[in-house]
Structure 1
Amino acid sequence: MLTRRQFLNVAAAGAGAMLVAPQLAFARVETERRFVFVIQRGAADGLNIVVPYAEPAYTSLRGALAIDPSSATKLDGTFALHPSLAQTAQMYAAGQALFVHAVASPYRDRSHFDGQNVLETGGASPYQVKDGWLNRLVAQLPATHENAIAFAPTVPMALRGKADVTSYAPSGLPQAPDDLLVRVSQLYDQDAQLRPLWESAMAARGLAGDASARQDPASLGKLAASFLVRDDGPRIAMIETGGWDTHSAQNPRLANQLKALDTMIAALRDGMGPLWNKTTVLVATEFGRTAAANGTGGTDHGQGSVAMLMGGAVNGGRVIADWPGLKPNELYQARDLRPTTALDGLIAGAAAESLGLDPHRTAASLFSQASQAGTPQPLTGLIRS
């Protein structure tokens, strides 16, 4: 039998342009604030994104991979920002970006699939929890229509759960003519099962409007903004980015990845207009990379990384770090940046403050069901009141 998601994916074909990667997932809630979660799939190298240039062991561990601090943007006396993040640096200077270093989920192994599952579900171990923390966040807010909408061939794990999700997958096929859509509408008009599905698909198509859905980062940011600024559009969004697994040739690859991320966030900012002041963007990855370079011009799977908060609502202009150091006895298992800040706590605090919720209740709702150590302590003071 044709499922709701399968039907909407089929209905979306020809209704817009195909987003292969990154992909978008949106949630609709009754609030004027916006919260966007950007996942970096592949384990982003936090040590070369927010560079601990004052750490004596950084250069010796990284060798040729070490970022020259003279080319980076100094954030404070310890950290500098990768030179590809030019727009992000401007947001930081304007107090609209902050970085949390040596951060990680509870996961301590090195499998991408397992690490992403823990990150997206909020569990303490892989596949322990069957729904996503972002879906549970949606459920905390009142909704007047569909609780969530996913712009992807499949809904990302973080957005799966009890809160209703309608999927919409823009397609690379030519735009469907209006007369064809009218005929299909007439065909399904008397069908009790397919009519509501078709109407839901057409509502999603209407939200998309004429927004560009090309794969370039600027178009993706513009597309996301075009949904988020609408009065009848989503308030919570998820954007998937891939390509962060840099085992070889890391420097040019990471530079390109960060430039794309920077361009996408800047286009989102510009497209949001005045609503940027009510927007929070959280960027996080499943785990970090080894402190030392490997033998192929890259780094391998590690632990601690860096998370980013950006937006007009962010109380930014700072780096939050309980810095563990990079000496051999300071590393996790003598190879990785030791995590000192819980990503769960960052997510709970940022999401709650972004949407006007109680941080402790939000932390309990999103993470306590799987935590072995109880509800994580939410980080607070991240968002302007």
Structure 2
Amino acid sequence: MTRIELDRREFLKGCCAAATVGAAGPALFFSGDAKAAANGYDTIVHVFLRGGIDGLNLVFPVSGEDRNHYEEARPRLRVPVSGENAALPLSTGGSATGFGLHGAASGLRDIWADGKLAIVHCCGMQTTVTRSHFDAQQYLDFGTPGSKGNGTGWLARALQAQPGVPSSVVMPALAVNSRMPANMLGATGALTMGSPTDFQLNGGAWAWQAVRQDSPAGFKGVRETLASLWQGNVGIEHAGRAADAALRTVARQAYTATLPDGWPSTNFARQLWTVAQSIRFDLGLRYAALDVGGWDTHESQGNDGGGYYRDRVAELSAALAAFYGELTRTGEMARVTVVVQSEFGRRVRENGSGGTDHGYGNPLLVLGGPVNGGRFYGTWAGLHPETLSPYFGDIPVTTDYRRVFAELLHKRMGHATVDQVFPGFGNHTPLGLFAPASASASATPRAVAPGPVRQPPRQVPQPALADIRTTSAPAEVAGEAASAPIRHRRGTVHLPKRISQPLLRLRLRLYRLMQEHRL
């Protein structure tokens, strides 16, 4: 039997380390040493819109047949094409695309005009259909649609597999949050920091925390003392040194809570300002994660493009535009890519409460210096009822979101393969969203020739008529829908492989009647 002995000094060191965790939070332990790296690398900023943004009122048709379908489905919530809150039409290479942005998204429209905002149509989880916030967010955070058993976030795995990150980098990944988000779970190199100006040990008596101007001669505060206690080779001492390095590095930087002139004073803008400063201070930041909530608009969303939803879009657009403008002005934006994602979209048809319920496909926003922007990517399936009927009236997903991230990781971050980041995802043919890393420094906004907007949606395999709370594998190929179960309280119905459009409409009507009468 091995005898474990712990002398008074070791005991005190352990107590001090434990007290530090309690005072400043476990996020202090997730960082490297205090040496900064050279700024010759890319940074991905992932913005998660928690709650499921209504993408069809952010990016929507402004002309043609789909405009008619849009207005019919949303007689109150539709964004007008003229007057107050009018849509902002989007053009590519001087030609109209037939789509527009919400009238409150002028900042995003300007980035589009600059050639640095791309929009991926009908993006999302192509192999899994769910209308549960909890399931959808975990599938996306873990990067494993249909499975929540991985235990590590996709950003954590991306960081783990990231080539060319020295062990001395103090901030390879940053979550601007009060807690570690699920997409970074397992990343021992990630730092969680809600506010850099509050990132300090503040437990215990204020006068004892650190040496101050009025401290007695020879006084040594808790912050100065802890560093000298973490000199051994015990696991908790390694963690303590990492925590101390993070504290000292952040404290040495000229972080400020004062926003630059012209920035909005919202919480999201402050989050982005923290990221902008962290990039500027050259701390080796490769991945940053931010959450923006408040998008679950089941009621009182706002009629005619106004109200609550308009304010949320204005906040999102203005903050992203300020971030883009700030880093473009100083040159850092050439190596920064921002991806704006939500767990799912909303239903095409408005509900009876002046809102929208949980849906499926959604636009994905990608902006930054490396982005070949000013155009749409992916496949727009259209809003014709016959197109939407196999998906319970939802916008289908025609582009798997992992295809976007796979290209980003490969072209900009240097990942040779994404198998470790997105297990089981082998189809990652590039969409052409990003310039090669070697060309980013000199990338300038450019006009892109318009491409086709509408393609037949059946060219892309995806779940067909899947149960809204059940995972299903992609199977629709060349117009043939595979057998898929729909589960209700009174049993399971299996669909035939070939389903005619009249039968689809009949089944959809039957499904709606069952929902209305709670069968």
Asked if the contact 1:290–1:302 (Cα under 8 Å) also holds between the matched residues in 2, the reply is yes
Asked if the contact 1:217–1:263 (Cα under 8 Å) also holds between the matched residues in 2, the reply is no
Q: Report what 2:247 is aligned to.
A: 202
**Counterpart pick for 1:343 among 371, 394, 401:** 401
- Indicate how the Cα distance of structure 1 residues 4 and 326 shifts in structure 2: closer, same or farther if over 3 A, else same: farther
Letter of the aligned partner of 1:231 in structure 2?
D
**Does 2:175 correspond to 1:150?**
yes
Asked if the contact 1:40–1:244 (Cα under 8 Å) also holds between the matched residues in 2, the reply is yes
Of stretches 238-247 and 64-73 in structure 1, the one that deviates more from structure 2 is 64-73
| Structure 1 position 128, deviation (Å) | 3.0
Distance in structure 2 (CA, Å) of the matches to 1:324 and 1:158? 30
Q: Report what 1:62 is aligned to.
A: 74
Distance in structure 2 (CA, Å) of the matches to 1:29 and 1:302? 43
**Counterpart pick for 1:311 among 348, 351, 368:** 368
Asked if the contact 2:271–2:290 (Cα under 8 Å) also holds between the matched residues in 1, the reply is no
Asked if the contact 2:173–2:288 (Cα under 8 Å) also holds between the matched residues in 1, the reply is no
| Structure 1 position 215, deviation (Å) | 5.0
Q: Secondary structure at the match of 1:64?
A: coil
| Structure 1 position 174, deviation (Å) | 11
Letter of the aligned partner of 1:132 in structure 2?
G
**Does 2:312 correspond to 1:257?**
yes
Relative contact order higher in (CA < 8 Å, ≥ 6 apart)? 1
**Does 2:23 correspond to 1:10?**
yes
Distance in structure 2 (CA, Å) of the matches to 1:179 and 1:270? 42
Residues 99-157 of structure 1: per-residue CA shift (max 9 Å, x gap): 01111123301110110011111112141321111112112223222443433232111
**Counterpart pick for 1:184 among 210, 222, 232:** 222
Asked if the contact 1:99–1:320 (Cα under 8 Å) also holds between the matched residues in 2, the reply is yes
Residues 299-348 of structure 1: per-residue CA shift (max 9 Å, x gap): 00010011001112211000124111222221143321111111111121
Q: Report what 2:105 is aligned to.
A: 85
**Does 2:122 correspond to 1:102?**
yes
Q: Report what 1:131 is aligned to.
A: 152
Asked if the contact 1:62–1:293 (Cα under 8 Å) also holds between the matched residues in 2, the reply is yes
Distance in structure 1 (CA, Å) of the matches to 2:277 and 2:394? 40
**Does 2:314 correspond to 1:299?**
no
**Counterpart pick for 1:231 among 265, 282, 289:** 282
Distance in structure 2 (CA, Å) of the matches to 1:217 and 1:162? 23
- Indicate how the Cα distance of structure 1 residues 296 and 72 shifts in structure 2: closer, same or farther if over 3 A, else same: same
Letter of the aligned partner of 1:281 in structure 2?
V
Letter of the aligned partner of 2:279 in structure 1?
L
Identity rate, percent: 26
| Structure 1 position 276, deviation (Å) | 0.9
**Counterpart pick for 1:355 among 409, 413, 422:** 413
Letter of the aligned partner of 1:79 in structure 2?
F
State the aligned residue count.
365
Distance in structure 2 (CA, Å) of the matches to 1:62 and 1:383? 35
Of stretches 139-148 and 279-288 in structure 1, the one that deviates more from structure 2 is 139-148
Structure 2: give runs of 5+ residues left out of the alignment. Answer: 1-13, 29-35, 91-95, 212-220, 259-264, 437-519
Distance in structure 2 (CA, Å) of the matches to 1:178 and 1:354? 48
Q: Report what 1:114 is aligned to.
A: 135
Letter of the aligned partner of 1:380 in structure 2?
L
Residues 216-274 of structure 1: per-residue CA shift (max 9 Å, x gap): 34333222201111222423211111011110111322211111111221222233221
Q: Report what 1:74 is aligned to.
A: 89
Asked if the contact 2:268–2:292 (Cα under 8 Å) also holds between the matched residues in 1, the reply is no
Distance in structure 2 (CA, Å) of the matches to 1:330 and 1:306? 17
Distance in structure 2 (CA, Å) of the matches to 1:228 and 1:378? 30
Q: CA RMSD in A?
A: 3.0
Distance in structure 2 (CA, Å) of the matches to 1:293 and 1:236? 36
Asked if the contact 1:12–1:171 (Cα under 8 Å) also holds between the matched residues in 2, the reply is no
Q: Secondary structure at the match of 1:35?
A: strand
Residues 338-375 of structure 1: per-residue CA shift (max 9 Å, x gap): 111111111211333232444xx13x2321x2x4xx42
Distance in structure 1 (CA, Å) of the matches to 2:409 and 2:107? 23
- Indicate how the Cα distance of structure 1 residues 227 and 62 shifts in structure 2: closer, same or farther if over 3 A, else same: same
Which runs of structure 1 show a deviation greater than 4 angstroms over 4 or more consecutive aligned residues?
1-9, 28-31, 171-179
Residues 26-55 of structure 1: per-residue CA shift (max 9 Å, x gap): xx9874222111011001111111112231
Letter of the aligned partner of 1:185 in structure 2?
R
Asked if the contact 1:276–1:311 (Cα under 8 Å) also holds between the matched residues in 2, the reply is yes
Distance in structure 1 (CA, Å) of the matches to 2:155 and 2:179? 15
Q: Secondary structure at the match of 2:210?
A: helix
Of stretches 171-180 and 189-198 in structure 1, the one that deviates more from structure 2 is 171-180
Q: Report what 1:218 is aligned to.
A: 269
| Structure 1 position 380, deviation (Å) | 3.3
Letter of the aligned partner of 1:259 in structure 2?
A
Letter of the aligned partner of 1:260 in structure 2?
E
Distance in structure 2 (CA, Å) of the matches to 1:314 and 1:179? 50
Letter of the aligned partner of 2:319 in structure 1?
M
Asked if the contact 2:193–2:199 (Cα under 8 Å) also holds between the matched residues in 1, the reply is no
Q: Report what 2:326 is aligned to.
A: 271
Residues 45-67 of structure 1: per-residue CA shift (max 9 Å, x gap): 11111112231311101111111
| Structure 1 position 296, deviation (Å) | 0.7
Q: Secondary structure at the match of 2:251?
A: helix
| Structure 1 position 172, deviation (Å) | 9.0
Asked if the contact 1:281–1:309 (Cα under 8 Å) also holds between the matched residues in 2, the reply is yes
Asked if the contact 1:350–1:380 (Cα under 8 Å) also holds between the matched residues in 2, the reply is no
Q: Report what 1:375 is aligned to.
A: 426
Q: Report what 2:59 is aligned to.
A: 50
